[in-house]
Structure 1
Amino acid sequence: MVGLEIRELECFLVLSEELHFGRAAERLYVSQSRVSQLLRNLERRIGARLLERTSRRARLTPLGERFLAELRPAYEALYGAFESAREAARGVDGVLRIGFQGVADERVTAAIAAFRDRHPGCEPTTVELPLADPFGAVRAGEVDAAIVCLPVAEPDLVLGPVFSKQPQTVVVSARHPFAGRGRVDADALADCPLIGPSAPAPRYWHDAMAPAATPGGRPIPRGPLVHTLQEGLAAVAAGRGGMLLCAPTAEYHRRRDITFVPVEGVPDSMLGLVWRRADETARLRAFGRAVEELCP
């Protein structure tokens, strides 16, 4: 373990999933050159290449594949041992900061209330997160956990309870041709530019919020990129495109200049509670249990 650097291991784990230095840099909140440096340092310590990189793609070497298989469970066990010791010292007290996107509905607030009743020594607080940065506040330590839309594919984050499976709607201007319909088929989205989250949202997450093609393979035009939900709704009202939103969020933000039309043929929306793997605490696990019990 002499000279072993956790940041180099984290970098390798992210690279092994992305197989792309630019996307790995976005997820790690560092420059692409820093990602390359961390990988080189790790390969120098090991004494062999772990990743083959060409101008078009990257892939793990056979040694890299073996190292990944052995590293991931060891990495998780290391942080598990650290957090177990920290929990024993702290207990469930202090402040728990919970981020959310869009709206914290009645189920979420019920889970927060139940957590407060069970653990009066810990005060939960809520923070609204921008649409375009679902994971940034967690990584920056601005919140302890975040309630975000799925999918979540972040190796440095724990995906806890998954809940609130809901049908999706497309939000359009009250003047849009969809506005008079009771529902639309997913293939009709090819006639509606979709507004999506801007950077730093990961590409896979952006594509889930604003897919590039219908289930039938028809391309969907790209609409504007926005940072917050309110920016997106303003763009919708101005007729610049539509947005996919789960039914409860759409209903909460109902207004006269936009309308919400159910979409058939797209996956249901789901939420998940995430937190940083390196920062898991008894508080987080206790809140996760409350979410599992009260958020179907």
Structure 2
Amino acid sequence: MRREGAAADVELRDIEIFLALAEELHFGRTAQRLHLSQARVSQSISRQERSLGGALFDRSTRTVTLTPLGRRLRDELRPGYRMIRQALAGAAAASASCSGTVRLAVMGVLPVELGALVEEFRARHPGCDVAFTEFHFSDPFARIRSGQADVQLMWAPVPEPGLRAGPVVFTEGRVLAVAEGSELASRTRVSLEDLAGRTVPDPGGRAPDEWRRAMCPDRTPGGRLIHRGPPALTFHEILALVAAGRAVCPLNSHVSRYYTYPGVVFVPIEDAPATRWTLALPDLTPPPHVRAFLDTARALGPRRIEAR
């Protein structure tokens, strides 16, 4: 049975994917056109079909065709989607005169994942730019408190008084960093229950408790104790403890794409909650160029970072 409010579950990005596939009638070409993975296109269409309660496309090994429901949805969506795109383009043109450099605080390699957002922002606002500055989880608010950053990319929640969460730019799963010799290292995936009785690093007193509990909880979902162990104030200090067999540590899954460390293996955590990376900023009215950056992020919407 179709549930009430199903249309509210469909986001603008999903509409774009549907309309592109309705034109291309080919999942591979649609993915290439939208700079997405083919899996992302398939997931979006399947999610829309579940939400709407009916098939939008007939799929075979050779062809993709629209169903009657799909044709109706395409015909009704096209005019509205065109109007939305025109409105967004008009807003972008109206604010094109803004200028300035957005100082964006990030951790580690994440500027790479922000490449599409920065490129789109520069294209929409030729007088603007983005400058990255790095911060560490052990002292996460130093740069934005001191005014050295306008916006900060951080995983939710945003627990700092005086800061508010802006748009979510991407989400990802989590992995467990374990020593190469650990019995967990040979597994294809682990559970949060596997942390029972093990030791995780202590990120230091400046890391918010909300962050610590979200990434390295005190107990497993079943209530079993997870030990808090030696301090580690940087990412490489964490990896050194793990390699030495002194700790295991849940981490965001993008680390498996960008990092290798002697003696450390990253194993996906199958039941960990998704990490939501948001643009946090002071709870004040931002200047025009910062507001334009946030608007660009909202227009693009969140995307999923896939693990290696």
Q: Name the TM tier (shorter chain).
A: 0.5 to 0.7
Find the counterpart in structure 1 of residue 265 from structure 2: 259
**Aligned partners of 2:111 and 2:132 also within 8 Å:** no
Find the counterpart in structure 2 of residue 217 from structure 1: 223
Distance 2:170 2:292 in 1: 19
The amino acid across from 2:244 in the alignment is: A
Find the counterpart in structure 2 of residue 32 from structure 1: none
Confirm or deny that 1:248 pairs with 2:254. Answer: yes
**Aligned partners of 1:194 and 1:242 also within 8 Å:** yes
Confirm or deny that 1:269 pairs with 2:272. Answer: no
State the SS of the aligned residue for 1:178: coil
Find the counterpart in structure 1 of residue 104 from structure 2: 98
Find the counterpart in structure 2 of residue 287 from structure 1: 293
The worse-fitting range, judged by mean Cα deviation, of 165-174 and 224-233 is: 224-233
| Number of residue pairs the alignment of both structures matches | 206
| TM-score normalised per structure 1 | 0.65
**Aligned partners of 1:95 and 1:124 also within 8 Å:** yes
Find the counterpart in structure 1 of residue 188 from structure 2: 182
Distance 1:282 1:249 in 2: 34
**Aligned partners of 2:104 and 2:131 also within 8 Å:** yes
**Aligned partners of 2:243 and 2:262 also within 8 Å:** no
Distance 2:180 2:111 in 1: 25
Shift of 1:235: 1.8
Find the counterpart in structure 2 of residue 121 from structure 1: 127
Shift of 1:126: 0.6
Shift of 1:251: 2.4
Confirm or deny that 1:110 pairs with 2:121. Answer: no
The 1:211–1:196 alpha-carbon spacing in structure 2 relative to 1, beyond 3 Å, is: same
Find the counterpart in structure 2 of residue 159 from structure 1: 165
Query: 1:185-237: CA deviations, max 9, x gaps?
Result: 21110132112421211222222222100011001011222222122122222
The amino acid across from 2:132 in the alignment is: T
Distance 2:223 2:193 in 1: 8
Confirm or deny that 1:233 pairs with 2:233. Answer: no
Confirm or deny that 1:191 pairs with 2:169. Answer: no
The amino acid across from 2:167 in the alignment is: P
Shift of 1:123: 2.2
Distance 1:196 1:268 in 2: 21
The amino acid across from 2:295 in the alignment is: R
State the SS of the aligned residue for 2:184: helix
Structure with greater helix share of residues: 1
The amino acid across from 1:137 in the alignment is: R
Q: Give runs of aligned pairs for residues 134-173 of structure 1, distance below 5 A.
A: 134-173=140-179
The worse-fitting range, judged by mean Cα deviation, of 95-104 and 138-147 is: 95-104
Structure 1: segments with no counterpart, 5+ residues: 1-90
Shift of 1:290: 2.3
Structure 2: segments with no counterpart, 5+ residues: 1-96, 304-308
**Aligned partners of 1:100 and 1:146 also within 8 Å:** yes
Shift of 1:270: 1.6
The 1:105–1:250 alpha-carbon spacing in structure 2 relative to 1, beyond 3 Å, is: farther
Distance 1:290 1:120 in 2: 13
Query: 1:102-122: CA deviations, max 9, x gaps?
Result: 321544111112112222222
Question: Which stretches of structure 1, 4 residues or more, deviate above 6 A after TM superposition?
Answer: none
| TM-score normalised per structure 2 | 0.62
The amino acid across from 1:178 in the alignment is: L
**Aligned partners of 2:105 and 2:152 also within 8 Å:** yes
Distance 2:286 2:141 in 1: 15
Query: 1:2-46: CA deviations, max 9, x gaps?
Result: xxxxxxxxxxxxxxxxxxxxxxxxxxxxxxxxxxxxxxxxxxxxx
Shift of 1:124: 0.9
Shift of 1:294: 5.6
